[in-house]
Structure 1
Amino acid sequence: MSNRIQDIQGFLRNILMTMIQAGDVVLDLTAGRGRDTLFLAELVGEKGFVHAFDIQEIALQETQRLLSEYQLEDRVRLHHCDHSRLLEKVQEPVQAAMFNLGYLPGHNQDVTTHATSTISALTAVFQLLRKDGVIALTLYRGHPGGLAEAVAVEDFLSDLPRRQYSVLRGEYTNQIPNAPYWILVQKNKGDNE
């Protein structure tokens, strides 16, 4: 894990390490190169489970290769579909979900996440999220469509009932315009589901 504040994923992982326990079920809604999936598989341990989603076969191949290298593939199910189809694939309660929005670095930048499917996936996660569960999102605004997706996701999250959810946002204030930023959402303990 990185201790540099310039590393958004490392920062979010440090937070998630305090919220995910061995035996938990968690989601990686944008498997990408598999780094978040691997991190989650290590956290949940032998009795936990990770569901990882991606629309690109190459992303799932890279994720599978990484999991095999660390011998953790038995803790993960890879789903080759849009993350908006979450409820078709997962019905059990989850402790955490990660979204790393945008496109797969080094590959076709025309294949990106979109506001409509991301908001559908978030809506599905809310149905599965346990009390005290958390969602970590990394949003990128610098590519075509990225800013529109970020604005739509943020608008959607800002309308969540504050008694049921806490939403926290962090971003660089001294970096390039439209730098990546993060949002954490926690389902508040004690409220009805």
Structure 2
Amino acid sequence: MLSRILDFARELLAEAIPAGGTAIDATAGNGHDTLFLTSCTGPAGKVYSFDIQEQALHNTAARLKEAGAAAELIQDSHENAASYIKEAAIDAAVFNLGYLPGSDKTITTTSSSTIQAIKSLLEKLRPGGRIVIVVYYGHPEGMQEKDALLPFAASLPQEEVKVLRYEFINQRNSPPFVLAVEKR
């Protein structure tokens, strides 16, 4: 059976992250991806989790504590993520674009910060590493972000990266899709 969008995103991440690896959650949200990344890296690895909202980091910290997992939580925009990473290279990064579920829908990711984050994380990505982006565009800022992100991703040099788009085209209400960037 075809994988659902979030399941497929996690499959792509799990394939790229070795035990002891380094992973980035560029949009902490409620901490689901951060916790998943810690299961991939294991206790010997490192996970950095970013969000601009204090509530998102609080939610993520609670989820990690409940599971007995740990990550470095950073209240800053993902466009600054690379400046916090101490490791020479990262194995993977994940973005869930849009807004914090159950929160203020006017606070969203933006195309400019997301594209800057992807550019800077690509520089830190090891060969074979992946950046997985779940694009939610069923709101005005999400549509603008999608409209900027797709041409940006398509313009990435094929000699350096492979870019995949995974989506279901027969679903209603602007269903999310996955963009995956794998460094050659």
Aligned 8 A contact 2:28 2:34 in 1:
yes
5+ residue gaps, structure 1? 189-193
TM-score with structure 1 setting the length? 0.91
Aligned 8 A contact 1:91 1:128 in 2:
no
CA distance in 2, matches of 1:100, 1:139: 7
CA distance in 1, matches of 2:152, 2:58: 32
Give the secondary-structure state (helix, strand or coil) at the position aligned to 1:12.
helix
Do structure 1's residue 187 and structure 2's residue 183 form an aligned pair? Answer: yes
Instruction: Give, in angstroms, the shift of residue 4 of structure 1.
Output: 6.7
Runs of 4+ in 1 over 4 A off after TM superposition: none
Equivalent residue in structure 2 for 1:82, among 66, 74, 77:
77
Do structure 1's residue 22 and structure 2's residue 44 form an aligned pair? Answer: no
Instruction: Give, in angstroms, the shift of residue 87 of structure 1.
Output: 2.5
- Residues 166-188 of structure 1, C-alpha deviations (whole Å, 9 max, x = no match): 00001111111522111111001
The structure with higher relative contact order (CA 8 Å, sep 6+) is 2
CA distance in 1, matches of 2:12, 2:114: 22
Aligned residues: 183
- Residues 49-83 of structure 1, C-alpha deviations (whole Å, 9 max, x = no match): 0000000100000000000001112xx10010111
Aligned 8 A contact 2:18 2:40 in 1:
yes
Equivalent residue in structure 1 for 2:45, among 37, 48, 55:
48
5+ residue gaps, structure 2? none
CA RMSD of aligned residues (A): 1.2
Aligned 8 A contact 1:54 1:60 in 2:
yes
Equivalent residue in structure 2 for 1:110, among 96, 106, 115:
106
TM-score with structure 2 setting the length? 0.96
Equivalent residue in structure 2 for 1:167, among 163, 167, 177:
163
